[in-house]
Chains A and B, each alone.
Chain A
Amino acid sequence: MDVQYFIAELWNARWAVAMGTGMTLVISALAITLGSTLGLVVGLGLTYGHWTLRFLVRVYTDFIRGTPVFVLVLASYYILAVAGIQLTAFEAGVFALTVFCSSHVGEIVRGALQAIPAGQTEASMAVGLTFRQTFAYVLLPQALRQILPTWVNTATEMVKASTLLSVIGVVELLLSVQQVISRNFLSLEFYFFAGFLYFLINFGIERVGRYAERRVAVVP
């Protein structure tokens, strides 16, 4: 392994890699924010919905969670086009990741809401809060605190899942690195470098998550 050659090639490829990294970050950020928002709704539906709604949402989450992300990405890329919804590969991929993220976040939210003892809801009603107030001031803050660690985990999962968009031709970090490799054949070095960049991104997310956890922790 010629380190100097690798560094020279890396310098040549700097813009490709930087653009790819940017794309990965954009995809992940979109999927996480959209997916979490949708996931909150899914979680609410699973916890408080009328039983028909609960059943439908349950079918949705179980179906999505039982399907590999890769299949979701491919399916949304091909099926949406046939269904007359013309999306770019980028949009179809973000759509798939959003759906995937929402079903996972939905389960997390449901778990957290159900873990709050019923006495809290009763107490809130006893002091005269409406359900909306109970949810906003009593349940949600506690649920969010409990969700945080798992949610950070899901966020890193989304960064990792964004690599799957390379298969449908979105030039994110992995595909841009593959394009570089097909030019200079330094597969060992560049795949390692890609892995290292992903590691840095996820490690960063994890660190920020830990910090946030400490900030919101209830001091006993």
Chain B
Amino acid sequence: MGYHLNFAAVWRDFDLLLSGLGLGLALAVVSILAGCVIGLVAAFAMLSRIRPARIAATAYVTAIRNTPILVLIFFSYFALPQMGLRFGKIESFVITLAIYAGAYLTEVFRAGLLSLPKGLREAGLAIGLTERQTRTSIIVPVMLRNVLPSLGNNFISLFKDTSLAAAIAVPELTYYARKINVETFRVIETWLVASLMYVAACYLIAAGLRKVERRLAIPR
């Protein structure tokens, strides 16, 4: 078929790809941290006794989870400036990804909170902690340790979603892969290397998370 593999073009720009991978990871870390805060607030809102809070949290989760993330990205990058909300492309992307992650994490945290035994809160109150202290120093830490596996899965899929930042020209891995692809036409090599980098990164993250999980697991 007259196509000879030649990785030279890809290796020449390999540091670009690596920097793109680094940026992708950074985007994912920042968004999951922000997403955790959003998710925690929304999860407590979902379980609260205040009806409007419940409705708002449910609406947020349902709306975000059923909308494609690419639409959300374009919306916040191209449409929000019309309302005077102007962000740089990286800020805009991180905000979108955080809001997107928040919706998924809300479900994770809600399930985590529901699976905690009632006695935990009662014990906290019994030893004289206030409702708020019980929440911050007992309920949330225990719940976080319990949901760590699904938190990890969410992080990995969030990391993969950072590839979409290329659609608004954030220079991460996919962006550079596309650039190398159109500049050199080393099509197979470029996409092979790029996807292998994603796979390797996901694999390493998963392995690292498993270690952390074992360290933090609640001893039975």
Query: Which residues of A are interface residues toward B (Cβ below 8 A)?
Result: 62-63, 65-72, 74-75, 78-79, 81-84, 156, 159-164, 166-167, 174, 178, 181, 187-188, 191-192, 194-195, 198-199, 202-203, 206
Contact = CB atoms under 8 A, between A and B. Distances in A.
A199 to B, nearest CB: 5
Interface of B: 1, 3, 62-63, 66-72, 74-75, 78-80, 82-83, 160-164, 166-167, 174, 177-178, 181, 187-188, 191, 194-195, 198-200, 202-203
A68 B174 contact: yes
Contacts of B177: 71, 74
A187 B178 CA distance: 26
Q: What are the 4 tightest A-B residue pairs by CB atom distance, in nearest-first order?
A: A66-B199, A68-B163, A75-B191, A202-B66
A74 B191 contact: yes
B163 A198 contact: no
Contacts of A198: 66-68, 71
21 contacts: A62-B199, A66-B195, A66-B200, A67-B160, A67-B199, A68-B198, A71-B163, A74-B181, A75-B194, A78-B191, A81-B187, A160-B70, A161-B68, A162-B68, A163-B71, A174-B68, A174-B74, A188-B80, A195-B68, A199-B63, A199-B67
A29 B198 CA distance: 28
Given A63-B199, A160-B67, A174-B68, 9 more contacts: A66-B160, A67-B195, A68-B162, A71-B163, A79-B187, A192-B79, A195-B71, A202-B66, A206-B66
A72 B1 CA distance: 22
Of the listed residues A70, A161, A192, A198, the one surrounded by the most CB atoms of chain B closer than 10 A to its CB is A70
A71 B197 CA distance: 11
Of the listed residues B62, B164, B166, B195, the one surrounded by the most CB atoms of chain A closer than 10 A to its CB is B195
Nearest to B156: A66
Contact of A187 (B1, B72, B78, B202): B78
A174 B199 contact: no
B83 A188 contact: yes
Contacts of A178: 74
Contacts of B78: 181, 187, 191
A70 B203 contact: no
B128 to A, nearest CB: 42
A70 B166 contact: yes
A79 B66 contact: no
Given A79-B191, A82-B188, A203-B66, A70 B202 contact: no
Of the listed residues A69, A78, A174, A181, the one surrounded by the most CB atoms of chain B closer than 10 A to its CB is A78
A84 B70 CA distance: 30
Nearest to A202: B66
Contact of B174 (A70, A156, A195): A70
Given A71-B174, A79-B191, A188 B160 contact: no
Contacts of B75: 191-192, 195
Contact of A194 (B71, B174, B187, B191): B71
A81 B188 CA distance: 10
B110 to A, nearest CB: 16
Nearest to A189: B79
A69 B66 CA distance: 17
Contacts of B162: 68
B78 to A, nearest CB: 5
Nearest to B24: A68
Contacts of B163: 68, 70-71
Contacts of A63: 195, 199
A163 B68 contact: yes
Contacts of B195: 63, 66-67, 71-72, 75
A58 to B, nearest CB: 13
Contacts of B66: 156, 198-199, 202-203, 206
